[in-house]
């Protein structure tokens, strides 16, 4: 952690991989595949939102889909009304952020324990889902956008060049723009985590009592972290809405929240790459299983979740990392050098 982001080779490797995928994929791959992997990009942003607040703020949200859905619906309603997508994209960040701050105020200033926090976040998403489901009638409209209840909102505008609503992005360009979003968010989070604010968040995750005994306002920090996570999830929701040109209450469902949790758990809590890897891996797996009729996808998701908790609580990336580190220590031992303590890296 003492090492600044700019001196971490891993950071450059990640950015380089991202840029390479961003520019090479549209040239190499056919349209259908590009559209498929665009989905992974969008959901990776969603995974990052939870990976950040859980891994670097110690906040386990069981209802992250509430922000995803809020962003998606904000974008849908705003873009249908405005006939443009630029400001709606900004709103899809701002409104979930504000909602996160408000909810966070209740939870963290009320000093709710972990269990209460989990239950409250879950229930918020659940009730949001119920409310949206009940807005099928024509009386539930905001401006010219009908909320559509369980039928969802169709015909959501495709992203366009800012300032020129007639310049739609084609799927290849959309993929590149979304990759750009993902990269920018990843880089921003890396710097945020390495900043003084980020270090304090981590210290709060490590030991809340000590953080407040050093004079840090734990409640305020948690509200900010939670709100940032909400905003990022909101952007992911907006990306999802414009990518599908359609949004329905499934985006707020418990299954959506559970997916985010499973991705982060699978990839590893406390890393940023982990959630992205977990997301891509598991979404790909779901896609494969989707072709098999007998297996129910929810059952699979549930089973994976249980296995992760019971058998692989650290997730893939940290497990791999400690295996590597273990190997390194053994190798050092063989060279006759005792390693007395683990030097802190990240």
> Residue 47 interacts with other proteins (CB under 8 A)?
no
DSSP structural state of residue 138: T
Query: Which region among 13-21, 128-136, 152-160, 232-240 touches other proteins (by CB under 8 A)?
Result: 128-136
Span from 19-27, 68-76, 84-92, 336-344 in contact with other proteins (CB under 8 A): 336-344
Helix (H, G, I), strand (E, B) or coil at 98: helix
What gap in Å lies between CA 313 and CA 264, rounded to an integer? 11
Q: What angle do CA 208, 211, 214 make, to 5 degrees?
A: 150
Query: Using CB under 8 A as the criterion, what x/- string covers residues 293-322 for binding other proteins?
Result: -xxxxxxxxxxxxxxxxx--x---------
Binding of residue 341 to other proteins (CB under 8 A): yes
Identity of the residue, 28 or 294, whose beta carbon is nearer to other proteins in the bound complex: 294
Write out the binding residues for other proteins, residues 84-123 only, by CB under 8 A.
106-107, 109-116, 118-120, 122-123
List the Cα angle 156/160/165 in 5-degree steps: 90
Position 8 contacts other proteins (CB under 8 A): no
For residues 70 and 99, give the distance between their C-alpha atoms in angstroms, rounded to a whole number. 9
- Closest to other proteins by CB, 160 or 321: 321
Q: What part of residues 202-231 is at the interface with other proteins (CB under 8 A)?
A: 202-203, 206-207, 209-218
Biggest distance spanned by C-alpha atoms of the chain: 77
The residue (of 309 and 330) whose beta carbon lies closer to other proteins is 309
Q: How far is the CB of 7 from other proteins (least distance, A)?
A: 15
Closest distance of CB 301 from other proteins, Å: 5
* Cβ-based nearer residue to other proteins, 117 or 153: 117
* Cα-based angle 226, 109, 125 (whole degrees, multiple of 5): 45
Contact 203, 211 (CB under 8 A): yes
- From the list 7-15, 19-27, 192-200, 233-241, the region that binds other proteins by CB under 8 A is 192-200
How far apart (Å, rounded) are the C-alpha atoms in residues 20 and 138? 46
Token pair of 306 as six digits: 């249980």
Residue 196 near other proteins by CB under 8 A: yes
- Residue appearing with tokens 């003084």: 196
Q: Which long-range contacts (CB under 8 A, 24 or more apart) does 283-289 make?
A: 283/39, 283/40, 283/43, 284/40, 287/36
Residues lying near other proteins in the complex (CB under 8 A) are found at 1-2, 60, 62, 106-107, 109-116, 118-120, 122-124, 126-127, 130-131, 134, 196, 199-200, 202-203, 206-207, 209-218, 254-255, 258, 261, 265, 294-310, 313, 341-344
């Amino acid at each position: 952690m003492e090492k600044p982001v700019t001196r971490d080779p891993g950071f450059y490797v990640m950015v380089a991989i991202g840029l390479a995928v961003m520019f090479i994929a549209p040239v190499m791959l056919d349209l259908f595949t590009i559209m498929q992997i665009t989905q992974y990009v969008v959901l990776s942003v969603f995974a990052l939102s939870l990976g950040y607040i859980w891994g670097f703020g110690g906040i386990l949200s069981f209802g992250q889909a509430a922000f995803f859905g809020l962003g998606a619906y904000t974008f849908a309603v705003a873009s249908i009304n405005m006939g443009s997508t630029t400001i709606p994209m900004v709103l899809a960040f701002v409104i979930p952020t504000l909602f996160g701050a408000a909810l966070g105020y209740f939870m963290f200033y009320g000093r709710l324990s972990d269990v209460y926090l989990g239950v409250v976040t879950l229930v918020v998403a659940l009730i949001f889902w119920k409310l949206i489901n009940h807005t099928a009638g024509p009386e539930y409209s905001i401006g010219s956008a009908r909320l559509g209840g369980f039928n969802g909102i169709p015909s959501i505008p495709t992203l366009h060049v800012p300032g020129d609503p007639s310049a739609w992005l084609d799927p290849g360009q959309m993929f590149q723009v979304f990759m750009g979003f993902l990269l920018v968010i990843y880089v921003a989070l890396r710097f945020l985590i390495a900043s003084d604010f980020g270090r304090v968040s981590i210290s709060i995750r490590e030991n809340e009592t000590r953080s407040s005994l050093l004079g840090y306002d734990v409640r305020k920090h948690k509200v900010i972290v939670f709100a940032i996570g909400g905003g990022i999830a909101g952007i992911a929701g907006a990306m999802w809405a414009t990518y599908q040109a359609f949004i329905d209450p499934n985006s707020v469902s418990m299954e959506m929240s559970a997916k985010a949790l499973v991705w982060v758990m699978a990839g590893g809590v406390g890393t940023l790459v982990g959630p992205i890897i977990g997301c891509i891996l598991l979404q790909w797996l779901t896609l494969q299983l989707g072709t098999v009729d007998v297996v129910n996808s929810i059952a699979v998701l549930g089973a994976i979740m249980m296995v992760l908790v019971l058998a692989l609580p650290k997730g893939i990336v940290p497990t791999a990392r400690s295996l590597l580190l273990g190997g390194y220590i053994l190798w050092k031992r063989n060279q006759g050098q005792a390693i007395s303590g683990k030097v802190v890296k990240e």
